[in-house]
Amino acid sequence: STFRVIESCLKQMIMSSSKKFTIAVEGNIGSGKSTVLAYLSKSSLCDIVTEPVDSWTNLNGNNLLGMLYNNPHRWGFAFQANAQMTLAKLHAQQSKAPIKVMERSIYSTRYCFVENLYRNNILHNVEYEILNDWFQMLISNDSCYLDLIIYLRAKPETCLERIKSRNRPEEQSITIDYLKQLHERHEDWLAPQIRTSTTPVLIVDANQTKEHVYNTTSTHLLTLTTC
Ligand code: TTP
């Protein structure tokens, strides 16, 4: 089963005590990353690093996330440059616990969001080149290394329902088409057979009811990390 992957990775980590282990939880907007992280935070073996959405909605008093959704052509580059940098800083943050669990990573800013804005001609190819150059520079640092990606794979329709029910003001304009595109970017990057990622990927079916998915995932992971 897919959990064997994480099991063997964790065993490896525990056996070589000096090695810290870094996991990124990835998946479409609304796939349930924050909820899974909230559950994992119960394990004393995990240090949780949440995504800095709050800093994106209040950057020196500016709501950069809202600006992005209102005018992606104007703010796409600035938003992505900032997202990339904030995530690179979180990669560099040392964890005290043996397992560091991150919500997203610098890789999804590049392979999902930047890629998608570029393919929709929202980012100019000069902007795309600049972001890519910075990305390559940032990931050349060892701190951006990931041992495992947990991919919460959910249908775009499921994600849209969850986005509507949480009702984040900036995300009112998110459409099913946008979520389908982002789903494809995640699939290109992480799905078996076609994946471009070289990091091991644990795929979790995140289509079931929220509670069921999160309980199942976290129970598996908590059992593994506390045994
Ligand atoms: P997500 O990173 O998908 O976080 P979430 O809170 O929606 O996740 P979940 O529901 O699974 O817990 O997105 C947060 C917001 O930031 C969302 O509106 C998309 C936006 N975003 C970008 O536009 N570009 C980026 O590079 C990233 C990382 C996020």
In this predicted structure, the answer to whether residue 227 has a pLDDT above a threshold of 50 is no
Overall average pLDDT of the 70-74 stretch: 97
Q: Among 173, 80, 186, which Cα is nearest to 124's?
A: 80
Instruction: Please give the Cα distance from 28 to 11 (Å, whole number).
Output: 29
Radius of gyration of the chain (CA): 17
Q: How far is the CA of 16 from the centre of ligand 1 (A)?
A: 34
Domain carrying residue 202: 2-226
Residues identified as active-site? 103
Instruction: Please give the Cα distance from 176 to 167 (Å, whole number).
Output: 15
- The atom of ligand 1 lying closest to the CA of 27 is 11
> How would you class 97 by CB atoms within 10 Å of its CB: exposed for 0-12, middle for 13-18, buried for 19 or more?
middle
Q: Cβ(69) to ligand 1 under 6 A?
A: no
Summarised one tens digit per residue, pLDDT across range 187-209 is: 999 998 888 878 999 999 999 87
Strand order in the sheet with 46-49: 46-49, 99-103, 21-27, 148-153, 201-205
Q: Residue 47 belongs to a domain with what CATH number?
A: 3.40.50.300
What distances in angstroms separate CA 50 from CA 47, 53, 132, 140, one per listed residue? 10, 9, 24, 22
Q: Cβ(29) to ligand 1 under 6 A?
A: yes
Per the structure, how many domains does the chain have? 1
Q: Please answer whether residues 97 and 46 qualify as being in contact, where contact means their C-beta atoms are separated by less than 8 angstroms.
A: yes
Q: How far is the CA of 21 from the centre of ligand 1 (A)?
A: 24
Q: How far is the CA of 11 from the centre of ligand 1 (A)?
A: 31
Summarised one tens digit per residue, pLDDT across range 108-164 is: 999 999 999 999 999 999 999 999 999 999 999 999 999 999 999 999 999 999 999
In this predicted structure, the answer to whether residue 5 has a pLDDT above a threshold of 70 is no
